[in-house]
Structure 1
Amino acid sequence: MKKAVYIRFTIILLIVGFMLAVQYNTVQNPETRDTRDVWAIRQELARETELHSELLSEVRMLEQTIGKYENMRNESPEMALNDTVNQLKKDIGLEEFNGPGLLITVEPSLESIAIGQPIEGISPDLLIRLVNEINRFKAKVVDIDGKRIIYSSAIRDVNGKTTVNNFAIRNAPFTIKIGTSSFEDAKKMYNQLEASAIGDDFYIDNLRLEIGDPVDNLTISGYDQSVNNQFLLEIPGGE
């Protein structure tokens, strides 16, 4: 009889201990709640929807390219290969760009001109911030002072001068050309840059951004230096 009582008492203690442990764990690790308001959630949803749309567009474009390549390969393998090579040259910036976009002029600030302050070159950090801001707004092509930006372009300080593709950038004024996929994208780029705080960063360095109106046809030269292809290997013929 006593043994049965002990067993029941032990079971009750185990249950109580388990419940206390669960309650303690809940108090120590409360469920994280999303405290964002409706507007913040809607903005996040809009960004995710836009990203999803972009991914679908890229998938559709790749499917069209594959289909086109398959058709051309059956008719003429050489033509298919040349078409693929030309498209790759366009994608990485080796070909001239003609299309919608806008022009930005980096100028000395009016205050620095008024007081006769010497004009200094733009710093690499500030130029990188501007390029990142432009790319954030979905630029297709960027050219800085006649130097085309591609995947391997570097912006750095060399002997006190800011360089792009190992060539020095002139002191202000100089121009930055931005190519976009459509005229609508160019208008969005204009509005976003006008509303961006990047202009304040330039003002601190006694510079200002003069953002030109979007245009339908902007010409940007292709990258005119050799492209580093150290990770590409040529396959011998017949393999």
Structure 2
Amino acid sequence: MKKTINWKFTLILLTVGFMTAVQYNSMKNPKERDTRDIWAVRHELAVEKQLHSELLSEIRELDKTIFTYKSLNDENTGKALTETVDKLYSQAGMTNIQGTGIIIKVKPSAESEAFGIPVTDVSPDLLTRFVNEINRFKGLILEIDGKRFTTLSSIRDINGITTVNGLNVSTPPVSMKIISPSFKDSEKLYSYLAASTIHDDFYIDNLILEVGKPERFVEIHGSPEMFENQFLKELPKGE
């Protein structure tokens, strides 16, 4: 009986010792070593902080909406719901928007025209890179070749053709419109894009990015597509 107890105790000690050794080795020699410099880490931290700030803003906006509903009586509830629906339609890009902004044109480069190089479409990767470039600024409303671009939009290659929301993007020249929250924001965006290296990315594909100066009035049309309601159903009156 005593030998059996000693054997079990020895087995437990071996198991604990093996697990401790494995944990120590994994901590001492990690599989992947972080080789980023301090600026790369700071950049990633800044991106995470920006995301955190945007999430807090959305939470505050939702809390404000909830408070509005709770403070209203039955007579004004319908009006509040209508305003919320209109706001959601606007965020989803279903309504026309007017405001200050800039108009950008994508054209074939002069060299490609002089040498007779065939004009190619703007690649999905290049278009996505441009969208990521301007997303450094908050509150922008974007239209690409007459197609409203929102957080629900997609840029894809379908049968060799660049599409936005499943609709074909025209062969350059192509126009893109950007509306900013204010004229000052439009000026900042113009200055940023004028000095951005995104021009080099377009030039490699024999395209040039012509950034127009800020304008007081720019209009962006809403998306003609309507959302389909698949889950919500209207209850009969009285229920």
Question: Do Structure 1 and Structure 2 share a fold, with TM-score over 0.5?
Answer: yes
- Check 1:102–1:236 CA distance in 2 against 1; reply closer, same or farther (3 A cut): same
Which deviations, in whole Å up to 9, do the C-alpha atoms of 1:6-44 show, x marking residues without a partner?
Answer: xxxxxxxx9xxx7xx978965663287987665555545
Q: Which runs of 5+ in 2 are unaligned?
A: 1-12
CA deviation after TM superposition for structure 1 residue 198, in Å: 2.9
Which deviations, in whole Å up to 9, do the C-alpha atoms of 1:136-182 show, x marking residues without a partner?
Answer: 54453211111112455443445544333444322211211122334
Counterpart of 1:69 in structure 2 is 69
Counterpart of 2:234 in structure 1 is 235
Question: Is residue 144 of structure 1 aligned with residue 144 of structure 2?
Answer: yes
Distance 1:122 1:36 in 2: 32
Distance 1:151 1:41 in 2: 26
Distance 1:162 1:36 in 2: 34
RMSD of aligned residue pairs (Cα, Å): 3.6
**Secondary structure at 2:121's aligned position in 1?**
coil
Identity level (%)? 46
CA deviation after TM superposition for structure 1 residue 218, in Å: 2.2
Distance 1:141 1:149 in 2: 8
Distance 2:191 2:106 in 1: 17
Distance 1:29 1:88 in 2: 49
- Check 1:64–1:184 CA distance in 2 against 1; reply closer, same or farther (3 A cut): farther
Which deviations, in whole Å up to 9, do the C-alpha atoms of 1:93-137 show, x marking residues without a partner?
Answer: 111112233221101112112223232322333323323433354
**Secondary structure at 2:135's aligned position in 1?**
helix
- Check 1:233–1:48 CA distance in 2 against 1; reply closer, same or farther (3 A cut): closer
Distance 1:54 1:153 in 2: 19
CA deviation after TM superposition for structure 1 residue 80, in Å: 1.6
**Secondary structure at 1:98's aligned position in 2?**
strand
Q: TM-score, normalised by structure 2?
A: 0.73
- Check 1:72–1:105 CA distance in 2 against 1; reply closer, same or farther (3 A cut): farther
**Secondary structure at 2:129's aligned position in 1?**
helix
- Which of 28, 31, 38 does residue 30 from structure 1 map onto? 28
Distance 2:24 2:158 in 1: 57
Counterpart of 2:163 in structure 1 is 163
Paired residues for 1:12-31 under 5 Å: 26=24, 29-30=27-28
- Check 1:157–1:82 CA distance in 2 against 1; reply closer, same or farther (3 A cut): same
Distance 1:196 1:140 in 2: 17
> Which one-letter code corresponds to 1:189 in the other structure?
L
Q: Which runs of 5+ in 1 are unaligned?
A: 1-13
Q: TM-score, normalised by structure 1?
A: 0.73
